[in-house]
Amino acid sequence: MDQVSWLRRRKPGIKDARKREVPDGLWRKCEVCGEIIYHKELERSLWTCPKCGYHFRIGSTQYRDILADPGSFVELLSGIESTDPLGFVDSRKYTDRLRDAKEKTGLSSAVLSGSARIEGRLVMLELLDFGFLGGSLGSAMGEKIARLARMAIEERVPLVTLASSGGARMQEGILSLMQMAKTSAMLARLHDEGLLHVVIQTHPTTGGVTASFASLGDVIMAEPGALIGFAGPRVIQQTIKQELPEGFQRSEFLLEHGMVDVVVHRKELRATLSKVLEFFSDDSRDEAEDTLDQARKQGL
């Protein structure tokens, strides 16, 4: 993460404490303020720094535990995995990279998809995982996202997407880019069916993922300080040859400019999501209609 801009916004002139060495395991050092945090405490604070609020990057299973009611998540579509249609090799074989990512994360692809309950409400939930090849959008992810959206349509339940991605899966070339169109088309159907899609953008949400499904939410929430954009700040700066504004492409900046609806601390994610689901649910619509009916009857 670009810590400099985070620091600037949080506390001007703070000393960079990154030189302090910490043994692995029991303790973690905050990448921003240098605070040494006991592992258990970090877990309790949902991997956010108790001192400065910095949000550590976490994986899809951690987000699953934060968002879904305990034990309610049922994984779906886990059999859909990436293949290597181009026989792609850069410094390493794509198939080797895939195998390593699977071993490292225990996931079959860069998105964990399933059904879950959030404070009792049934949703389709998909969680991107940056730890799996940068959460990049390949054909497997595209297929899983399109199919989960279709399941949400069939079941008439909301779809919740947690985004965390560096963008398109370069190793799949044009096939990766096609996933942007595929996922967007299926989400358009979800929208036509009058069903809710909530997106939570986390650090980082960039490239083709931002340019497709991660921006196609009816409600877009973002974690504080997350980098959200299409091209990175350096590329933009080099292209337009102009100094970029303070906090450019961060959640708070996007909130100010209308691209994000609400910036939510990780500890509040579940409660906020639940409120949004309730607000758009049929029973709250029924309630609102009842209130309106009563008001009409009373001649108000």
Binding residues vs Zn ion (CB under 5 A): 30, 32-33, 35, 49, 51-52, 54
| Shortest separation between residue 51's beta carbon and Zn ion, angstroms | 5
* Least spacing, CB of residue 243 vs Zn ion, in Å: 27
Instruction: Give me the helix-helix angle, 173-192 and 139-155, nearest 10°.
Output: 10
Q: Which is nearer to Zn ion, 49 or 145 (CB)?
A: 49
Least Å distance, CB 32 to Zn ion, is 5
Report CA-CA distances (Å) from 257 to 62, 218, 251: 30, 16, 10
CA–CA gap between residue 225 and residue 249 (Å, rounded) = 9
CA distances from 56 to 37, 165, 243 (A): 12, 15, 28
Q: 52 or 140: whose CB is closer to Zn ion?
A: 52
Shortest Å, Cβ 48 to Zn ion: 9
Residue of 128, 148, 160 whose CA lies nearest to 270: 160
Residues 6+ positions from 194 with CB-CB distance below 8 Å = none
Q: What minimum distance in Å lies between the beta carbon of 35 and Zn ion?
A: 5
Q: Are 199 and 221 in contact (CB under 8 A)?
A: yes
Reading the block at residue 147, the tokens are: 């199919």
Looking at the Cβ atoms of 169 and 266, the one nearer to Zn ion is 266
Q: Which is nearer to Zn ion, 53 or 135 (CB)?
A: 53
Nearer to Zn ion, 13 or 258 (CB): 13
